[in-house]
Amino acid sequence: MSSTENGETEVQIIYNPNSDILYIRLDEVKQDVLNQRVSEDVVLDMGSENRIIGIEIMDASARLNLKNILPVEYQITANIAA
- Is the entire prediction scored with pTM above 0.85? no
Asked if residue 1 belongs to a domain, the reply is: no
Helices (H) and strands (E) in the chain, counts: 1, 5
CB atoms within 10 A of CB 57: 19
Asked if residue 30 belongs to a domain, the reply is: yes
Asked if residue 52 belongs to a domain, the reply is: yes
- Number of domains within the chain: 1
CA angle 36, 34, 22 (to 5 degrees): 60
Asked if residue 77 belongs to a domain, the reply is: no
Report pLDDT digits (tens) over 25-60. Answer: 998 888 899 999 999 999 999 998 899 999 999 999
Asked if residue 32 belongs to a domain, the reply is: yes
Domain that holds residue 56: 12-62
Largest CA distance in the chain: 38
Asked if residue 17 belongs to a domain, the reply is: yes
Q: How far apart are CA 13 and CA 20, in angstroms?
A: 13
Asked if residue 19 belongs to a domain, the reply is: yes
Assign 3 a pLDDT band (cuts: 50, 70, 90).
very low
